[in-house]
Chain A
């Protein structure tokens, strides 16, 4: 987009008319915002139905490159804007938060469609997150199911307007220029239901008070014991296929332990198995050599 000098010159300092085309007096914020708003690269990241309309908006008929949403990048490292285009499920919110943490700052989130804004028609479902803003800060909400390409373009322009109004001096606008590295958003954990680490204390308090009174927001299952028994039984065939230390997999994490501690354990186990296979292969080859 062309640099609009008149827009940039909108500061309290008067500029002589004859110099208006040659010099620009501006505040740093405006220059910064101008650069930011016109090079907003979205992440190539589709979730559901809305993603199809997002692709339609990117394609030749509506073409959001005209506004500096130049090209969609598949990696979060090169993206400035996350368009959450579709229903966010509990299973998917874990990767989404992880992707958001990987995006370099400054970063923006646009919730496209009813589902991403507040759960949408599927809100009541057991696997649906009621709005992306329950986990990430959302800058612009675009309602609609799905929003038409023009509605999405309107939302994107609304995001640009929002950026126009931001000031570098204001820490609320641009939290990424604060002191020290930014805190990553904690990644939710997939337990018996999704667990937001930020709510851990509340959940713990609830669980502790459960001894006195029934747990609020708890789930009753009529045949709970059978379910658990069934789960243990069906785990058996998998266990047979991999007889080596299955118990090591069911690592009991101490409270607050990082979920990736478990992944390390798996890695260790896989390494052991690979070593075993390697030994097996070596012995076979030896046997073959003997045969020859």
Chain B
């Protein structure tokens, strides 16, 4: 996979992935076997040896960044549970994929939190949704559902109240599609079902107690408390899920000593809308509009990651045409525009959090409106663009951005698309970025509030699997557009934005730099669009099929989205002809994993800084909770 072969004297940290696997096989001959399933990659590790081997992978082989850890339930396909880990090097290159298998009845796997702290939330998620126990995990409890919920819903044999069929399309819709509402069929009239042995006399709502129960774990409260010689009592402050500064329905439970935060526990799942469970029932095509609703600020980026992952799988099959150059250029343009939207939004609301209430937001999202107008004209919707397809796009740019009156008092607009784009990219967006810098970069209040607040060191950032501006603000120059390039990024000229300080201000600087780099990329895209004018966006000139079949195998497609590394892990378990529905559809959400270091960063700061630190991570709840 890597271009250079490992010479014998080559240190192991730079060895190619194949050589790394060879090394592992020679050092742990009995614990490792190659994953030889059709279309699969990587190695299967003996669960007993997982911890040791993970240490070797991180320390000796240099795969220091655990990107994704997720579970797969192979019910009926081998009847086992499997944890899949994707580890990368922060110096760049492909993934070392390693897996550990366990039985379905009593699944147990050693926790990797002692090797990568970034595995913390992901293992809790696997416990919550799959019921895999992680021995040695310090705080193994449900993360998305509430404590006390019945069952582990992502298991293939777990069925929800409105369950209809395993796979879409449902037979009840056509040809005899007599309309019904799901709740009419449910005896309780609601989306609920209760276990057969429910005992209402012993009913307990343990969701809240479980949240408070684990507070203070691993926190040295004594040290903070006696620092000033005062005797103070700790106080539990609950922020959210309804709170203006938690960017949605996120919740934090803080323990504070006076104004100082001694521990912080993120509580999430208030927007857990079962994206993955629904995604496994959907066909591949159905999932594209659902990805829009992950990170709903930058839906184009979500589309891109997903189509890349599926195209990766489709390329294993025979009948697959890669997207044309124009298609790639359009994709990159859309993604960069949505990155601009994302960063303007993130900076604006971060300013809200640190006290500049709404003036910056209102200034910055003015520009967002123009970009959204453009999305609406090209893709059909302001936010939920649903623009990309496998091997192509929904449509080419229209000649003119034109509206037609329909309702009373409708006023039409009519612009030349390329002119609109050029003006936006060359004048409006740079002007907004200049204003943003003028307003904020040297602003003393911003500096006082953000410098040296919420510091995350480079080593910690990597160990916590932080991604995006959070990682680059800590001095790690890791940008997937450069580290593992995709689309036409290799031929584009741009720099990785990176700052060394690791505090809130550094993250802000990274975002501003990225805004400028995005404009730089867009300026390179415009002539490419002019040059390819008239070319088709589909390789064979016609749109793709509505029910593509995807060959057997697994794929992990990842892109650098505005919030960080957005990855899609997809398993297709069809027969020879492939399957129309994914067997496993997992989203490695940057907002979710970036929250892992939140408690670490907030400790010792004031309560008022916590919202700022959260804002500087830049989360969106649709993606955090999925």
Contacts and interface: CB of A to CB of B under 8 A. Distances in A.
Given A226-B106, A242-B213, A234 B140 contact: yes
B217 A49 contact: no
The 7 A-B pairs of least Cβ separation, nearest first, read A125-B274, A192-B150, A126-B160, A49-B296, A217-B187, A122-B273, A74-B244
A49 B152 contact: no
A95 B144 CA distance: 16
Interface string A39-76: 00000111111011101100111000000000000100
Interface stretch (B130-138, B474-482, B560-568): B130-138
Interface string B72-105: 0000000000000000000000000000000011
Interface string B112-129: 000000000000000100
Interface stretch (B49-57, B225-233, B437-445, B512-520): B225-233
A217 B203 contact: no
B59 interface: no
A182 interface: no
A217 B161 contact: yes
A1 interface: no
Given A123-B182, A130-B190, A281-B231, A91 B214 contact: no
Contacts of A118: 181
A48 B188 contact: no
B166 to A, nearest CB: 12
Contacts of B192: 90, 193-195, 217
Contacts of A169: none
A59 B213 contact: no
Nearest to A51: B248
Contacts of B137: 237
A221 B182 CA distance: 21
A96 B245 CA distance: 17
A212 interface: no
Interface in A190-218: 190-196, 199-200, 202-204, 206-207, 210, 214-218
B141 A221 contact: no
Interface string A71-100: 000100000000000110111100100010
B296 A48 contact: yes
B177 interface: no
Contacts of B163: 124
From DSSP, what is the main secondary structure of chain A's interface residues? Answer: mixed
A263 interface: yes
A184 interface: no
From DSSP, what is the main secondary structure of chain B's interface residues? Answer: loop
A63 B582 CA distance: 43
A5 interface: no
B362 interface: yes
B151 A219 contact: yes
B272 A52 contact: no
Given A47-B248, A48-B248, A219 B194 contact: yes
Given A193-B149, A252-B204, A61 B194 contact: no
B187 A206 contact: yes
A243 interface: no
B270 A89 contact: yes
Contacts of B189: 134
Interface string A237-271: 11001100000011111110001001100100010
Contacts of B157: 221-222
A220 B196 contact: yes
Nearest to B149: A192
B221 interface: yes
Interface of B: 104-106, 127, 131, 133, 137-141, 144-146, 148-153, 157-164, 181-183, 186-196, 198-209, 212-214, 217, 221-222, 225-226, 231, 233-234, 236, 241-244, 248-249, 269-275, 277-278, 281, 289-290, 293, 296-297, 361-362, 365-366, 368-369, 372, 382-384, 621-622
A262 to B, nearest CB: 6
A189 interface: yes
A202 B214 contact: no
Contacts of B200: 200, 203-204, 207, 255
B145 A127 contact: yes
B182 A124 contact: yes
A118 B182 CA distance: 10
Nearest to A222: B157
A274 B139 CA distance: 21
18 contacts: A46-B249, A59-B365, A61-B369, A91-B207, A119-B182, A122-B273, A123-B191, A148-B382, A190-B207, A191-B148, A195-B203, A203-B194, A203-B200, A220-B196, A238-B214, A250-B206, A262-B204, A284-B222
Given A59-B361, A60-B366, A234 B141 contact: yes
B213 A238 contact: yes
Contact of A192 (B153, B194, B368): B194
A50 B139 CA distance: 33
Contact of B190 (A44, A134, A145, A215): A134
A270 B214 CA distance: 12
Interface range for A: 35 or more
A128 interface: yes
Given A47-B249, A190-B148, A262 B131 contact: no
A87 B271 CA distance: 7
B278 A227 contact: no
A158 to B, nearest CB: 14
A177 to B, nearest CB: 28
A129 interface: yes
Contacts of B372: 56
Contacts of A289: none
Nearest to B150: A192
A291 interface: no
Contacts of B290: 121
Nearest to A135: B190
B309 to A, nearest CB: 21
Contacts of B151: 219, 221, 224, 227
B225 A281 contact: yes
A179 interface: no
Nearest to B159: A219
B208 A223 contact: no
A123 to B, nearest CB: 7
Given A47-B271, A74-B244, A89-B270, A241 B202 contact: no
A180 B180 CA distance: 40
A230 interface: yes
Given A95-B242, A221-B151, A126 B277 contact: yes
A218 to B, nearest CB: 5
B150 A238 contact: no
A189 B200 CA distance: 11
A189 B161 CA distance: 17
A155 interface: no
B274 A127 contact: yes
Contact of A251 (B204, B213, B366): B204
A99 B225 CA distance: 34
A214 B190 CA distance: 19
Contact of A214 (B196, B361, B366): B196
